[in-house]
A = this chain, B = another copy of it.
Amino acid sequence: MSLLVVGSIAFDSIRTPHGEVEEILGGSATFFSVTASWFTPVSVVAVVGEDFGAEQLRIFHDRSIDTQGVEQVPGRTFRWKGEYTGDMNQAHTLETQLNVFESFVPKIPPAYLDTQFLFLGNIDPVLQLNVRRALPNLRISALDTMNYWIQGMPEDLAKVLATVEILLINEGEARMLTHQGNLKKAAAIIQKLGPRVVVIKRGEHGATLFGPESIFTVPAYLLDEVHDPTGAGDTFAGGFMGHLARTGDLSDSNLRRAAVYGSVMGSFAVEEFGLDRLLRLTPEEIESRYREIKRLTHFDA
């Protein structure tokens, strides 16, 4: 089934111990949609500037991503410059130019109004809520957020949280949102705010899914080298939501499979800079890594 993502499209400049790239295609909607496109048809609502051209559009279209909702407006596209050092667990932002993203008002094309699966990427919670309300036929909506909104707009964030089924959030941000250091208690607090499924992303330690029926932990796949962690969280979300939308199955066992696909896709994302590895995948590679994570975690009862 079709999956809609609302989020950012950006040009990223990134430095890591493995190299440096300038103005490559990035942003939450980009990483999410490219990833989810391996599982299900995807549509994007985002804003770009005049510097976004055929070259960028081709990346989406090569993955059969519907870009009707990508609005082009006067000005420059969102730019982010960041650096990773040491264990690369944390991005250090060197520069942020919001540009056209600053006045982004998501517009849902009429063709998308019957959308059943929605991912609200990390944007202003007021905009997230407007999108959520504009889509009456949703079966599953998932939300990402960050410290900036948790601290700056807690009431608006609470409103949109009350309307979604799934929250995907970083470990540190889950603690910040709930003022609770214990992850199990933090997840229980979030579940009372609305989302019955809370996926806590733990970087190189994988992710923990708190569902209505059970808790599930998936490790990160162990790589010989992490080249660029940018987009890993949105890529996890793309694999997770992509699998849910593909199957339409929200059972406990399928939520677990979705989290494993999230971890699988996140592991590919960080192997190379930007979208490089995600664009060059095959379905066989995805299934093979899924089995490798099975092998990494299996033990006899």
Binding site for B on A (CB under 8 A): 86-87, 181-185, 202, 205-206, 208, 214-219, 222-226, 253, 256-257, 259-260, 291, 294-301
Within the complex, which residue of B206, B253, B300 is in contact with A300, where a contact is CB–CB below 8 Å? B253
> Do A224 and B301 touch (CB < 8 A)?
no
> Do B183 and A217 touch (CB < 8 A)?
no
Q: Which 8 A-B pairs have the closest CB atoms?
A: A256-B299, A217-B219, A205-B205, A184-B222, A297-B297, A294-B301, A217-B296, A87-B181
Closest Cβ–Cβ distance, residue A160 to chain B (whole Å): 27
Asked whether A182 and B224 contact (CB < 8 A) given A214-B295, A219-B217, A253-B300, the answer is yes
Closest Cβ–Cβ distance, residue A173 to chain B (whole Å): 14
> Do A222 and B299 touch (CB < 8 A)?
no
Closest Cβ–Cβ distance, residue A204 to chain B (whole Å): 8
If A184-B222, A217-B297 are given as contacts, then 9 extra A-B residue pairs at C-beta distance below 8 Å, sorted by A number, are: A182-B223, A182-B224, A185-B224, A214-B295, A218-B299, A253-B300, A259-B299, A297-B297, A297-B299
Contacts of A298 in B (CB 8 A): 216, 256
Q: How many protomers of this protein does the assembly include? A: 2
> Do A299 and B185 touch (CB < 8 A)?
no
Contacts of A299 in B (CB 8 A): 216, 218, 253, 256-257, 259-260, 294, 297
Contacts of A218 in B (CB 8 A): 297, 299
Highest count of chain B CB atoms <10 Å: which of A256, A260, A298: A298
Closest Cβ–Cβ distance, residue A120 to chain B (whole Å): 26
Contacts of A87 in B (CB 8 A): 181
Asked whether A223 and B184 contact (CB < 8 A) given A216-B299, A301-B294, the answer is yes
Within the complex, which residue of B181, B202, B205, B216 is in contact with A297, where a contact is CB–CB below 8 Å? B216
Smallest Cβ-Cβ distance to A187: which chain B residue = B222
User: With the chains together, A206 CA to B297 CA distance in Å?
Assistant: 12
Contacts of A294 in B (CB 8 A): 299, 301
Contacts of A181 in B (CB 8 A): 86-87
Contacts of A260 in B (CB 8 A): 299
Smallest Cβ-Cβ distance to A225: which chain B residue = B182
Highest count of chain B CB atoms <10 Å: which of A184, A224, A296: A296
Can you spell out 11 A-B residue pairs with CB atoms less than 8 angstroms apart? A183-B222, A184-B222, A214-B295, A214-B296, A216-B296, A216-B298, A217-B297, A218-B299, A291-B301, A294-B299, A294-B301
User: With the chains together, A296 CA to B183 CA distance in Å?
Assistant: 14
User: With the chains together, A202 CA to B202 CA distance in Å?
Assistant: 13
> Do B205 and A222 touch (CB < 8 A)?
no
> Do B257 and A300 touch (CB < 8 A)?
yes
Highest count of chain B CB atoms <10 Å: which of A86, A182, A184, A224: A182
